[in-house]
Amino acid sequence: MAPRKRLTRWLHLGHRWLGIAAGLFVATWLLSGPVMLFVGFPALTEAERLAALPPLAVEAVRLGPQEALARAGLTAFPERVTLTMRGAVPVYRLGLPDGSVRALSAVTGEPVAPLTAAAALALARRHPAAGAVRDLGRVRRDQWTVTARYNALRPFRRVALGDAAGTELYLSEATGELALDTTRRERVWNWLGAVPHWLYLTPLRARAALWREAVLWVSGLALAATASGWAIGLLRLRRGRPTPYRGWRAWHHLAGVAGGLALTSFLLSGWLSVNPNRWFGPRMPDAAALARYAGPAAGFPIAREALAAAPPGTVELRFGFLGGAPRILAAGPAGVRPCCGTAVSEEAIRAAARHLVPGAGLAAVERVAAPDAYWSDRGGAPRLPVLRLVLDDPAETWIHADPATGEILGRLDRSGRAQRWLFDALHTLDVGPLLRHPPLRRGVIAALCGLGLIVATSGVVLGGRRLRAVWRRRA
């Protein structure tokens, strides 16, 4: 057999059996993908979290932040220190370097008691959407809290608000804080959307390393099947009559030629989204970089009395440092702003940014006033304006920071900017006019998924016929 014929034969055999192995997965992804355009995976947004918090009773606070740290037995300033209400009591929540969270009363300095069912119901009744509140029991891990990001707050008390949306809250037993909310619409549609699309079955997703390997292998096989099929389809095109096949084979061939490039790009970008071989850098600076940005912090020098200057309606105070200077941020109806005698300047942000990466300087600073290719949000308008801090480190890192608060909002190095095009542009079509017109983008994605579904469905039918034929021959 000539080398070209041998190669073509192996291409056909590879496509056939890879398609049989991965065809149902591809069909499932193409059906679930459009659902995700309209209903995302349940998540507690910052706006939802702040809206659920009652106004902070600053007058009830008896301990300043430094006194709270001393009562907790901490000598170093934690990664996160916030002051919010837990029912009628103001509470400090301390995020520690090991990922755990400790909560203590801002009145007595004592650790808060674990959240009971009755206490969870009392907290839920304060929620703006509360109706006939109902306790749904204790949850350590379920379908919506499966990922490691919730580990520090487990276990949860799950409470139904009894509102028209069927909202359920997940309240941390350890700290009492709201970790997640879900609605009936999200819970139902995600079984047809994100759960099958991401292979987010709880027993699998709870084992992060196993889940990652499974997604890489399954999507990799699907990618090989699709790419080989597209190549075969182009080779089989004929003049006059475009396809030598009939029936399901003709549908598979012609739809594969028309949609093969889009389907291959969807699968390639989906495979890359799991970050094979850790090619892409993190989207946020690590703890060490954030500590350098904050600067030296032996103790928090601002006394309790200064907290009285928090703006009316404040629901949360955040304590930290920027370049070694203490900073208090007040979150409330007017947004997040410095308060209580502290201030943030662009010069201070620039100076602190020079310490993010050892040995790296600040090459440029750009004020981004409108969404662009590297600062956008599919779910709505991103926070604007932001400062784009360009570092001259080997990774060519960009840091996005809020000029009003100094908070770091994101990190993009050279690999992250490549991922923006290899995933966002290819998988979700966040590019050009489609990025600026979400309905058009959703329509194009749905049309391409429909074309790909013809390819996948016809492939599953043909694969089933092949398997039946093999079974009959062996029988």
Q: What's the CA angle centered on 95, arms 93 and 96, to 5 degrees?
A: 135
Are residues 138 and 224 located together in one domain of the fold? no
Quote the pLDDT of residue 317: 98
Strand partners, 159: 135, 169
Quote the pLDDT of residue 97: 81
Are residues 33 and 79 located together in one domain of the fold? no
Q: How many domains, in total, are found in the chain?
A: 2
Does residue 381 surpass a pLDDT of 90? no
Measured distance CA(459)–CA(465) in Å, rounded? 10
Going by pLDDT thresholds of 50, 70 and 90, the confidence category of residue 1 is: low
pLDDT in tens, 283-315: 999 999 999 999 988 789 999 999 999 999 999
Are residues 179 and 248 located together in one domain of the fold? no
pLDDT in tens, 99-118: 889 999 999 999 999 999 99
Measured distance CA(112)–CA(90) in Å, rounded? 10
Does residue 271 surpass a pLDDT of 80? yes
Are residues 52 and 184 located together in one domain of the fold? yes
Are residues 75 and 106 located together in one domain of the fold? yes
Q: Do residues 44 and 179 lie in contact, with contact meaning Cβ atoms separated by under 8 Å?
A: yes
Which segments of 37-104 does DSSP mark as H helices, in order?
Answer: 46-51, 65-71
Q: Do residues 444 and 437 lie in contact, with contact meaning Cβ atoms separated by under 8 Å?
A: no
Domain-located, residue 150: yes
Q: Which residues contact 26 (CB under 8 A, 6 or more apart)?
A: 222, 225, 226, 263, 267, 452, 455, 456, 459
Domain-located, residue 365: no
Does residue 9 surpass a pLDDT of 90? no
Tokens of 325: 């200077």
Tokens of 258: 């028309």
Residue type, 153: L
* Pairing of β 408-412 and β 398-401: antiparallel
Domain-located, residue 273: yes
Quote the pLDDT of residue 298: 75
Which segments of 295-363 does DSSP mark as H helices, in order?
Answer: 346-353
**CA 169 remoteness from chain centre:** 19
Domain-located, residue 402: no
pTM for the complete prediction? 0.92
What is the chain's alpha carbon radius of gyration, rounded to the nearest angstrom? Answer: 27
Can the peptide bond before residue 155 be classed as cis, meaning omega within 30 degrees of 0? yes
Quote the pLDDT of residue 438: 87
Looking at per-residue pLDDT, the higher value among 45 and 436 belongs to 45
Domain-located, residue 399: no
Q: Do residues 426 and 417 lie in contact, with contact meaning Cβ atoms separated by under 8 Å?
A: no
Measured distance CA(18)–CA(58) in Å, rounded? 63
Q: Do residues 230 and 265 lie in contact, with contact meaning Cβ atoms separated by under 8 Å?
A: no
* Residue 91 belongs to domain spanning: 46-190
Are residues 240 and 162 located together in one domain of the fold? no
Beginning with the edge strand found earlier in the chain, give each strand of the sheet holding 80-86 in spatial order: 101-105, 89-95, 80-86, 316-322, 325-332, 335-338
Measured distance CA(230)–CA(222) in Å, rounded? 12
Are residues 186 and 50 located together in one domain of the fold? yes
Q: Do residues 17 and 436 lie in contact, with contact meaning Cβ atoms separated by under 8 Å?
A: no
Are residues 54 and 176 located together in one domain of the fold? yes
Are residues 184 and 245 located together in one domain of the fold? no
Q: Do residues 65 and 81 lie in contact, with contact meaning Cβ atoms separated by under 8 Å?
A: yes
Residue in 426, 421, 379 with CA at minimum distance from that of residue 41 = 379
Strand partners, 178: 171
CB-based burial of residue 234 (10 Å sphere; 0-12 exposed, 13-18 middle, 19+ buried)?
Answer: exposed
Are residues 29 and 52 located together in one domain of the fold? no
Look at residues 158, 190, 222 and tell me which one is the last residue of a structural domain: 190
Quote the pLDDT of residue 380: 67
Beginning with the edge strand found earlier in the chain, give each strand of the sheet holding 386-391 in spatial order: 362-368, 386-391, 398-401, 408-412
Q: What's the CA angle centered on 379, arms 374 and 383, to 5 degrees?
A: 55
Look at residues 157, 190, 223 and tell me which one is the last residue of a structural domain: 190
Are residues 108 and 234 located together in one domain of the fold? no
Domain-located, residue 380: no
Does residue 356 surpass a pLDDT of 90? yes
Quote the pLDDT of residue 379: 66
Measured distance CA(141)–CA(156) in Å, rounded? 8
Are residues 210 and 124 located together in one domain of the fold? no
Q: Do residues 20 and 466 lie in contact, with contact meaning Cβ atoms separated by under 8 Å?
A: yes
Across the chain, what does the average pLDDT equal?
Answer: 94
Q: Once rounded to an integer, what is the mean pLDDT over residues 321-335?
A: 94
Share of residues in the chain with pLDDT > 70 (%): 99
Measured distance CA(177)–CA(162) in Å, rounded? 19
Residue type, 8: T
Tokens of 137: 């029991």
Q: Give 356's Cβ-side CA count (13 Å radius).
A: 28
pLDDT in tens, 27-64: 999 999 999 999 999 999 999 999 999 999 999 999 99
Look at residues 190, 215, 247 and tell me which one is the last residue of a structural domain: 190
Q: Once rounded to an integer, what is the mean pLDDT over residues 219-239?
A: 91
Residue in 226, 120, 116, 125 with CA at minimum distance from that of residue 179 = 120
Quote the pLDDT of residue 377: 81
Domain-located, residue 316: no
Domain-located, residue 376: no
